[in-house]
Amino acid sequence: MGKIAIVCPTIRPESFKGFVKGWWDLIEQHEASLITVWDGDKPKVEVNGEEKGDVDSIMGDDNTLIFNRNDGVRNLGFAYIAKEMPEIETIITLDDDTMPIGDPIQDHLNALDQRVSTSWISTSSEYTRGFPYGTRTESEVVLSHGVWEGVKDYDAPTQLVNGNKDVTFYKGPIPKGVYYPMCGMNLAFKRKMLPYMYFAPMGYKVGIDRFADIWCGITSKRVIDDNDWAVVTGYAKVRHDRASNVYKNLQKEAEGIEMNEGFWKGEETAKYFKFYKSCRIGWEKFISDII
């Protein structure tokens, strides 16, 4: 799978210190590069603790594609990899409040090394009688969606109802034509996906938050389907221990919840989606011109 980069966005030095302590042995074991995106008024990138540039030096005239003070600021790390690290073939992005369960890096690599069926779905952990042989290796896996234990990733209304109610995760490929809620806290993808891995503009500049990864999941899945590639989920697991404030999340999600109900079906009448589309086009051009 080539060289590996771990992208972690953070604005919390103490939380990041714990992240490094928990992950460093695995990072060294896999000879991976740790790409830290320090959020703030002018986000910057560090590689293994060494500062490499800020949003202006990395993005140039395209610096408006990076939105700060939200989890989508990790886009700056993706851009740096595309621009300055041609040797990187696998990108893993993790939140700063996650810890490894086993070896999630290797689990992601194993998941990305598969070919799977996207036109049929298995009813068991093995291919059973009647599953067509011709579909079993039809699609190259280009994105591995990891899962987590600990604090669940509910939206605010569901969290108010469920609290931290436990869940059971599906493990396997996401069928072609089917969407899924992509969470950015534990995610891996191949370099060829960089032009399409653009976490949606969020935060105080646009008045919507907490849908950066979800909407990136929708738009990237369309590209993956169009190319007969595959997404798998559930192969790599981390522990997530930090719960965000449910009432603040209600405010952040208020406008986006209704928009999310229609976006996956192609409903893009809200003014925001015209802006989002222009940003995606700009991002794809920026990355494609580099790689």
> What CATH number is given to the structural domain containing 10?
3.90.550
Name the band, by pLDDT with cuts 50, 70 and 90, for residue 8. Answer: very high
Q: What is the mean pLDDT of residues 94-106?
A: 98
User: Is residue 165 over pLDDT 80?
Assistant: no
User: Is residue 152 over pLDDT 70?
Assistant: no
Closest CA to 100 of 14, 171, 25, 166: 25
Residue that wins the pLDDT comparison between 255 and 131: 131
Name the band, by pLDDT with cuts 50, 70 and 90, for residue 156. Answer: low
Q: What is the mean pLDDT of residues 273-280?
A: 98
Q: What is the pLDDT of residue 202?
A: 98
Q: What is d(CA 252, CA 50) in angstroms, rounded to the nearest whole number? A: 33
Neighbouring-strand partners of residue 240: 98, 150
Task: Name the domain count of the chain.
Answer: 1
User: Is residue 245 over pLDDT 90?
Assistant: no
User: Is residue 249 over pLDDT 90?
Assistant: no
Q: What is the average pLDDT score of the chain?
A: 95
Q: What is the mean pLDDT of residues 256-285?
A: 97
Q: What is the mean pLDDT of residues 63-75?
A: 98
Q: What is the mean pLDDT of residues 215-231?
A: 98
Q: What is the pLDDT of residue 243?
A: 60
User: Is residue 161 over pLDDT 80?
Assistant: no
The domain in which residue 118 lies consists of 3-290
What is the C-alpha end-to-end distance of the chain, expressed in Å? 17
Q: What is the pLDDT of residue 68?
A: 98
User: Is residue 241 over pLDDT 90?
Assistant: no
User: Is residue 57 over pLDDT 90?
Assistant: yes
User: Is residue 252 over pLDDT 90?
Assistant: no
The number of CA neighbours under 13 Å toward the Cβ of 80 is: 30
The set of residues, in sequence order, having a beta carbon less than 8 Å from that of 92 and lying 6+ positions away, is: 4, 5, 6, 7, 32, 104, 105, 108, 187, 188
The set of residues, in sequence order, having a beta carbon less than 8 Å from that of 72 and lying 6+ positions away, is: 199, 200, 201, 202, 203, 212, 213, 216
Query: CA dist 35 to 45, 60, 237, Å?
Result: 7, 19, 20
Q: What is the mean pLDDT of residues 271-280?
A: 98
Q: What is the mean pLDDT of residues 106-124?
A: 97
User: Is residue 158 over pLDDT 80?
Assistant: no
Residue % of the chain over a pLDDT of 90: 88
Q: What is d(CA 119, CA 233) in angstroms, rounded to the nearest whole number? A: 16
Name the band, by pLDDT with cuts 50, 70 and 90, for residue 185. Answer: very high
